[in-house]
Amino acid sequence: MKISSAFSLTRHVGSLRIARSSLIKSAHILERIGLAAVGASCGLYVGATLLRQKGGLFESGWIVLITMLYGALSYYVGIDLSGNVARKPTSSISEEWNGSEPAEIMSAAGTFGAAIAATLSVSILVLDQNLSNGLIGFVAGCWVVGSSLQVAAGTMARNYEAPINEQ
């Protein structure tokens, strides 16, 4: 079977023809839901690490739900910035900022911070370590700052309007 015929099969369901743009939009929605699930699972690990600390600020089970919801929101909004920002061509010669770079940098930094917090949390849980409140605070700080940067970056990118004259 040729590759082109395989692709044409994905656009035909029985006698119905599915528009390519609808297929791409559906795939993008599935991708965003998948990113939210990854963010929620990272939040689960961070929340479980915080919950494990006895005598601390995070003794309520609600911390797990809160970190999961915030993780889902931050990964949904902050990763895979909108198409207008991502597709906007930038000149490698020009040293000018076009307005989208801060959002891209914030998204990258936020993803890094949240991923570090999730990785540390998983290692703390898997190795069953008891750590000082300072290190647990560091993990929580990385999570909050990283997730917040992702939300801010996604919000900035979606509100950014490219100038009409630029192509």
Question: CA 67 → CA 2, 12, 58, 111, 143, distances in Å?
Answer: 46, 41, 11, 15, 8
Which range among 20-24, 73-77, 108-112 shows the weakest confidence by mean pLDDT?
20-24
Contact 74, 147 (CB under 8 A): yes
In a domain, 57, yes or no: yes
- The pLDDT tens digits for 123-137 are 999 998 888 888 888
**Domain carrying residue 118:** 17-87+100-159
Count of domains in the chain?
1
Please check whether residue 1 lies inside any domain of the structure: no
Q: What is the pLDDT of residue 165?
A: 45
Residue 154 within a domain? yes
Higher pLDDT pick, 55 / 149: 149
Residue 109 pairs with which residues in a beta bridge?
none
Residue 12 three-state SS:
strand
